[in-house]
Amino acid sequence: MTAAGAAVSEFGNALSLLVLLFWATPISSLLVAAVLVAELLPFVLGAPLAGLLVDRLPNRRLLIIALLCQGVAIAAIAPLMGQPVFVVALVFASGCGRAIAQPCISALVPHIAGEENSTRAYALLGTTRSVGNIAGVTGGALLAGFFGHPAAMLIDGCTFLAYAVLLAFVRSERRPSGEHSERPSAMAGIRHVRRDSVLFAAILGLACFVGATVVINVADPAFVRFVLHGNEFLLGAMQACWMVGILFGNRVAARLVSASQLAQALAITGMTTGVAVLIPATFPFVAAAVIGWFIGGVSNGVDNVAMNAIVRSRTPEQMRGRAFAAVGSMVTGANLVGTAAAGGLLLVMGPRAVFAVGGTGAFVAGAVCLVFVRRALKREESPAVAELSSN
């Protein structure tokens, strides 16, 4: 039920994002960036509060409430698409619900699937989300083309309602235990990530290459429109190639077991993502873009599963909500910076050049991350050596 609901919800997310990006592109690249920033900002600003809520309230019920809030906000965009300010404000409101929903489902998965099957469960969840995304960017383009942008937003609002209804049939629940006064503060998740050298190196590296790569989200519509001379159908097809790649990446990541494998996989995917973005930047043809986006999708699938799995494996159960929220805030914060920077970059250079900048940055960040992850793993395996070297 949870995986099916996630697929339905991701269908709506992909549909609405495709519609909003193509709606905003002719108006201004800054509006494209504003829509993406509004979606991401709540993850950064609200991470401590979101994590605290996840570690204090029954997760399934909290997730249902967050989904209903998202659905109302997205549906309300439909009659207001002539007012960009209101659209951005409602996207921000939807992002607030999503900022709670993301750590909520990540913390809930081990209770549904069992601790020993969590990595496979994260991979399954990622797979169903990818299927929903593929349907959203392909079928969504058709829906938007035939019925118009407002109708597509209403459909997206209904997908959140469908997800909430499916969750009502799930019996598993994560009920945080202990008195509130006994639990760590809202900032405990951030402190936990910072103290774990392997986790911190992996997540910091992930955040850096995400921040570099995310510039393509803003440049992608302009790249399709002005470089490849395509329309929303080509944009949807390219995004579908990325999602198909995620399906393969999820299967690869499901086989990762140890923290060493998970941490190094996160670093390596930064490098492969950089290569994926550089391919269409170097060869501005549809075929090259398809190949690059498939490779990027595989990398994305691996790092999504590996991120959840390594946080779960290295975090005590009672504070996983705050840890997932802290990691989400780091990655989304980098995403936010990259998104904001992309709007400015598009004003001074073309989308192809923006792709080149993003791909190079991701590759370098991934390579540096791999070095620091391996050093952290070596220190962890040989604490005596690390202590001698520090003296």
Q: What is the pLDDT of residue 45?
A: 85
Q: b vs e for 96-111, b when ≥16 Cβ sit within 10 Å of the residue's Cβ?
A: bbbbbbbbbbbbbbbb
List the domain boundaries for the chain: 2-171+187-386
Residue 137: pLDDT band by 50, 70, 90 thresholds? low
d(CA 243, CA 135): 10
- Highest mean predicted confidence (pLDDT) among 102-116, 217-231, 290-304, 324-338: 290-304
Q: Which CATH superfamily is domain 2-171+187-386 in?
A: MFS general substrate transporter like domains (1.20.1250.20)
Q: Calculate the alpha carbon distances from 5 to 96, 105, 191 in Å.
A: 19, 11, 33
| DSSP secondary structure, 15-68, as one string | HHHHHHHHHHTTT-HHHHHHHHHHHHHHHHHTHHHHHHHHTTS-HHHHHHHHHH
Q: What is the pLDDT of residue 281?
A: 94
Q: What is the pLDDT of residue 140?
A: 65
d(CA 27, CA 39): 18
Return the number of other C-beta atoms located less than 10 Å from residue 30's C-beta: 16
Q: Which residue has the higher pLDDT, 94 or 15?
A: 94
Phi first, then psi, for residue 146 (nearest 5°) are: -90, -40
Q: What is the pLDDT of residue 386?
A: 44
Using the structure block, give the residue that is written with the tokens 């997205």: 74
Q: Which residue has the higher pLDDT, 182 or 300?
A: 300
Q: pLDDT tens digits, residue range 368-391?
A: 999 999 999 999 877 544 443 444
Q: Average per-residue pLDDT in the chain? A: 85
Residue 183 CA, chain-centre distance (Å), reads 28
Q: What is the pLDDT of residue 236?
A: 73
Is the C-alpha dihedral spanning 277, 214, 74, 159 positive or negative? positive
Residue 124: pLDDT band by 50, 70, 90 thresholds? confident
Give the closest residue to 20 by CA, choosing from 215, 216, 156, 210: 156
Residue 145 has pLDDT above 80, yes or no: no
What are the residues whose beta carbons fall under 8 Å from the beta carbon of 205, sequence distance 6 or more? 266, 267, 270, 365, 366, 368, 369, 370, 372, 373
Instruction: Give kind and range of the element (H or E) at residue 142.
Output: helix 118-147
Model confidence, pTM = 0.76
Q: What is the pLDDT of residue 362?
A: 96
Q: Calculate the alpha carbon distances from 326 to 53, 98, 119, 331, 333 in Å.
A: 13, 14, 20, 9, 10
d(CA 205, CA 187): 21
Using the structure block, give the residue that is written with the tokens 């509006």: 31
Contact by Cβ (8 Å): 110, 172: no
Identity at 254, one-letter amino acid code:
A
